């Protein structure tokens, strides 16, 4: 908890006692998804909302030729379900100053930062400069401490990491980061109204689902991808794996969690689709390990990659949902 005279602390949390929400606990196939989804998975329960209700958008993921859609909570969905408006924060003074002002108004602040300064288990910490997004919910400029949600938890940074995160932007000519703030000024739904609204969003998103099976698209593109992987080092492979295997697998793990949530709230006929979503998540993790071994050995064999079971599960999931929620 932050208690200094200059401090603002929206929730009074302690990293040592913060309990991960259900979507970040239990038998996860993919411990992390991507920074933006994981941020909201933590932040929404802190605001009093079930993040599961907002996962209908996971049916939209497509194969984009060189990556799977970087899936994110649509801001319109957050407003419709929870009365949350996410707006761009105009930065013309220091990020620290603007963050403090919005926190004083009770608004979490989402900041694009350099993971180099995040001592929360991020592999880039003090090693690489990588863009990521955190949700600032507590700040004390006097003691140089920041409380924030990032990846799968609530964390606090201070000292040189605080200076690096905020003060490195002060240099003349430095670009301002992209920053948003979370304004809670709408009506938040609950109970049956929340379930009904979530199902309504699912029906809407299903109308815009991919026209073709995205797993098939990946299978067709794999020979070209192997050529690229063969010409690059393991650092490139890790970026490739994050944007393909992990985004696909993590997205479908979240879809499975969503279908289970719907089932627990009265929407029947979804058990098999939820299990198929879990299988896609598991198969994507297995495939990532296969690709890692191939990249390490510099030997690539497209015939050893079996994507057909994932293709079949994807087709089953979408046909089931389209029939159940026309």
| Distance from C-alpha of 115 to C-alpha of 124, rounded to nearest angstrom | 6
238 found inside a domain: yes
192 found inside a domain: no
User: Are residue 180 and residue 251 in the same domain, yes or no?
Assistant: no
| Percent of the chain's residues with pLDDT above 90 | 86
User: Are residue 274 and residue 172 in the same domain, yes or no?
Assistant: no
Show which of 138, 167, 184 is a domain's final residue.
184
Residue pair 127/116 in contact (Cβ under 8 Å)? The answer is yes
| pLDDT exceeds 90 at position 74 | yes
94 found inside a domain: yes
pLDDT mean over 88-102: 94
User: Are residue 123 and residue 242 in the same domain, yes or no?
Assistant: no
User: Are residue 238 and residue 123 in the same domain, yes or no?
Assistant: no
User: Are residue 264 and residue 141 in the same domain, yes or no?
Assistant: no
CATH number (domain holding residue 105): 3.90.70
Please tell me the total count of domains within the chain: 2
User: Are residue 128 and residue 227 in the same domain, yes or no?
Assistant: no
| Distance from C-alpha of 9 to C-alpha of 222, rounded to nearest angstrom | 48
Round the average pLDDT of the chain to a whole number and report it. 94
Residue pair 73/54 in contact (Cβ under 8 Å)? The answer is yes
pLDDT given for residue 4 in this prediction: 74
User: Are residue 35 and residue 97 in the same domain, yes or no?
Assistant: yes
User: Are residue 164 and residue 227 in the same domain, yes or no?
Assistant: no
User: Are residue 18 and residue 100 in the same domain, yes or no?
Assistant: yes
35 found inside a domain: yes
207 found inside a domain: no
Residue pair 161/149 in contact (Cβ under 8 Å)? The answer is no
- The tens digit of pLDDT for each residue in 270-326 reads 999 999 999 999 999 999 999 999 999 999 988 899 999 999 999 999 999 999 999
| Distance from C-alpha of 237 to C-alpha of 240, rounded to nearest angstrom | 5
User: Are residue 179 and residue 217 in the same domain, yes or no?
Assistant: no
Higher pLDDT residue, 26 or 265? Answer: 265
- Which residue is associated with the tokens 């079996």? 306
| pLDDT exceeds 90 at position 123 | no
- The tens digit of pLDDT for each residue in 14-69 reads 999 999 999 998 789 999 999 999 999 999 999 999 999 999 999 999 999 999 99
Q: Which structural domain, as residue segments, surrounds residue 265?
A: 213-324
Rounded to 5 degrees, φ, ψ at 154 are: -105, 135
pLDDT given for residue 168 in this prediction: 58
208 found inside a domain: no
| Distance from C-alpha of 195 to C-alpha of 201, rounded to nearest angstrom | 10
User: Are residue 158 and residue 281 in the same domain, yes or no?
Assistant: no
2 found inside a domain: no
pLDDT band at 155 (very low <50, low <70, confident <90, very high): very high
311 found inside a domain: yes
Q: Could you tell me the pTM of the whole model? A: 0.94
User: Are residue 32 and residue 93 in the same domain, yes or no?
Assistant: yes
| Distance from C-alpha of 82 to C-alpha of 12, rounded to nearest angstrom | 22
| Distance from C-alpha of 201 to C-alpha of 183, rounded to nearest angstrom | 21
């Amino acid at each position: 908890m932050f208690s200094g005279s200059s401090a603002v602390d929206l929730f009074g949390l302690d990293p040592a006692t913060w309990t991960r929400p259900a979507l970040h606990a239990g038998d996860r196939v993919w411990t992390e998804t991507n920074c933006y989804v994981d941020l909201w998975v933590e932040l929404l329960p802190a605001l009093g909302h079930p993040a599961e209700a907002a996962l209908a958008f996971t049916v939209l993921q497509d194969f984009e030729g060189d990556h799977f859609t970087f899936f994110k909570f649509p801001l319109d969905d957050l407003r419709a379900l929870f009365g949350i408006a996410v707006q761009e924060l105009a930065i013309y003074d220091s990020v620290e100053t603007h963050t403090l002002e919005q926190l004083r108004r009770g608004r979490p602040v989402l900041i694009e930062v350099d993971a180099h300064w995040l001592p929360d288990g991020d592999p880039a910490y003090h090693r690489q400069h990588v863009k990521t997004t955190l949700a600032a919910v507590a700040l004390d400029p006097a003691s140089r401490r920041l409380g924030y949600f990032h990846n799968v938890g609530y964390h606090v940074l201070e000292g040189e990491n605080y200076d690096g995160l905020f003060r490195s932007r002060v240099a003349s000519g430095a670009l301002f980061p992209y920053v948003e703030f979370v304004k809670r000024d709408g009506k938040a739904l609950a109970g049956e109204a929340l379930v009904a609204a979530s199902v309504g969003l699912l029906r809407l998103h299903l109308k815009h689902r991919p026209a073709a099976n995205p797993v098939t698209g990946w299978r067709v593109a794999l020979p070209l991808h192997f050529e690229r992987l063969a010409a690059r080092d393991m650092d490139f492979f890790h970026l490739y794996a994050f944007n393909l295997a992990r985004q696909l697998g993590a997205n479908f793990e979240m879809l499975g969690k969503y279908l289970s949530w719907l089932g627990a709230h009265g929407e029947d006929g979804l058990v098999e689709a939820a299990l198929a979503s879990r299988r896609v998540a598991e198969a994507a993790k297995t495939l990532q390990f296969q690709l890692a071994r191939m990249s390490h050995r510099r030997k690539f064999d497209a015939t050893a990659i079996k994507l057909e079971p994932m293709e079949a599960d994807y087709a089953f999931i979408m046909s089931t949902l389209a029939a159940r929620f026309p």
